Amino acid sequence: MKVGSHAAKVREPRQVRKEAAVSDRLRVPWGDLAGAGRSSWCGWLAIDAGCTTNTHPFLPARCGSVYGTEAMSTPVPSDPTQPETGVDPHRALYRRWRSQRFGEVIGQDPIVETLRRAVAGDRTAHAYLFVGPRGTGKTSTARILAKAINCTNRGADGEPCDTCPSCVSIREGRAMDVIEIDAASHGLVEDARDLVMRALTAPAELRRRVYIIDEVHMLSTHAFNALLKMVEEPPDHVVFILATTDTHKVPATIISRTQRFDFRRIATDAIAGKLSRIISAEGAEAEPDALALIARLADGGMRDAESLLDQVLAFSGDRVTADGVREAVGLADDESVAALLDAYGAGDAPAALDVIEALADLGRDMTQVAAQAEVEARHRLLASAADPAGARRLATILRTLAEAAGAAAREGRARLAMELLAVESMDGGQPAVRPAPHPAAAAEPPRPRPAPMPASAPEPAPEAEPAPAPAPPVVAAAAADPAPAPVGELAVVAARWVEVVERAAPAIKPLLRECRPVALEGVRLTLAFPEERRFMREKASTRSAAIEALLGEVLTGSWAIDCVTSNVELEPLSVAQAVAADPADPDGQALLEGVLRITGGELVDVPEVR
């Protein structure tokens, strides 16, 4: 048998000792190693490489053998003349306060009750799939289930005792028959085949062998295929517990062979309650507002909450306050976040930029600020259902803030995204409902347009009579010849779409060129993009506030848009309209007239060439 770091207990079955000798993946407790190849102190005896013993001149000459029935003594420092300090290293709160029994799992009552009854009634399945966000108790529940299956003093309700040798060995991580595998680093097909071969051997110590595969979605396709038959029909002594945060990456063939349990995010009150118990046990004090703030920041994850509490305790000592939490995590105060959202909503770019710069000067984390602003914008969006225009504007702001707190934050561009939002909000920061133009100003057309030239005459036609700016639908036109159509008709919007496109800002002009108005219900205008322009439809949806503001400038009134994709065909603009789009360019008009005069040609409409 191989000696050293892969040696097993001499009292274990031969198959287990052979398995330990030929593999480097079997976990063997450090206290049970033979000690070959290293020097250590056993009681009062110095052992060198497991072969030669040198008795210290000041120590007794005999000591119990490491292979005998006597337990090994506690290791002493290399210099036995120096006393031990007795100070244990600090362990993270989430490790010290991990749930050890079913009754200690927070916020997953249906799952806990189902597993407890299954264990009590001896109806445990051969494979489980635990799905849910991070920090919701998937791995802890898997370990508790392994305890309950192998507990020798289990209660009638299926609760493990947590005191028998089996429960203690599982809790301390030295149970040879409870194997935890990280699929992110053991996701190859060779690892899966090795697992299948090991699963065929009998358990070494416990009643049943439990494999806990964490982040199982990281396994490769070939690894899943290699495990498929074993997960479907494992030996009676094997139980598989698979845990994942991305269930859509797990093949359906694996899911169908397991019992699936979906872990939900833990409620804020439940997280705050456990944090309060931890604070009391640690001998510290905490304000209820501080614990509630930590619970909200955890976003339903108990491990995140306990890690944040550990960080805040290291920062503020034994007194946890809300201000201390903000300082430790880098949060902005509520007043600054509200002022930032007000500036976004009003289109006040200088004020928004000032708030962002002030928060950056205070050392606030821009990712956290974006996340705070995202939460505040969401609350305002849900409260603005009675104001459609304001809700649409808040939706646009919320999309950008979500990007700043997500993808942009991962790339280190959270502050840049927030500053760009401040500048872009200037396009749509005007009031949603605009007053009708003054009657005197309505008589002057905003931009005259010539009528299309007849085919028989090469000379350009005289300019057509300008159409007056339309009044609100409730006011009838007095004496106009011809009478303009009301703005509420789709034909009017379609006829003036060229003007809308030409007066658009450079950022949205390419988008408006690739769509056409197809429906109008009240003030809600539907813009249709061709199927191959789906990407431009998504971009137009993100800039809906600027497009609605543009419609208000050109057509007056309040507008709302819906962007869809359909089989619409883009009707080309006439040549005359294209030439007259910019009357301030006389050179272009003169050039066209000269070409028509020399060639004797005529103006016709032709479709666009793509």
Q: What is the DSSP string of 467-516?
A: PPPPPPTTSPP-S-SSPPPPTTSHHHHHHTHHHHHHTS-TTTHHHHHT-E
pLDDT at position 535: 81
Rounded-to-integer distance, Cα 155 and Cα 453, Å: 95
Rounded-to-integer distance, Cα 192 and Cα 160, Å: 30
pLDDT at position 50: 41
CA distances 554 to 98, 109, 473, 482, 496, Å, are 63, 58, 15, 20, 9
Is the pLDDT at 53 greater than 50, yes or no? no
| Segment 567-602, tens digit of pLDDT | 777 765 554 544 444 555 555 566 667 667 666 667
Most confident of 97-101, 343-347, 393-397, 480-484: 97-101
Chain-centroid distance, C-alpha 385: 26
- Which tops the pLDDT comparison, 295 or 432? 295
pLDDT at position 524: 85
CA distances 369 to 333, 362, 416, 609, Å, are 9, 12, 12, 48
- Which tops the pLDDT comparison, 319 or 385? 319
| Segment 202-261, tens digit of pLDDT | 999 999 999 999 999 999 999 999 999 999 999 999 999 999 999 899 999 999 999 999
Is the pLDDT at 62 greater than 50, yes or no? no
pLDDT at position 307: 94
| Segment 253-278, tens digit of pLDDT | 999 999 999 999 999 999 999 999 99
pLDDT at position 506: 84
Q: What residue type is 15 in one-letter code?
A: Q
What is the reported pTM? Answer: 0.57
> At 386, is the pLDDT very low, low, confident or very high (cuts 50, 70, 90)?
confident
pLDDT at position 589: 65
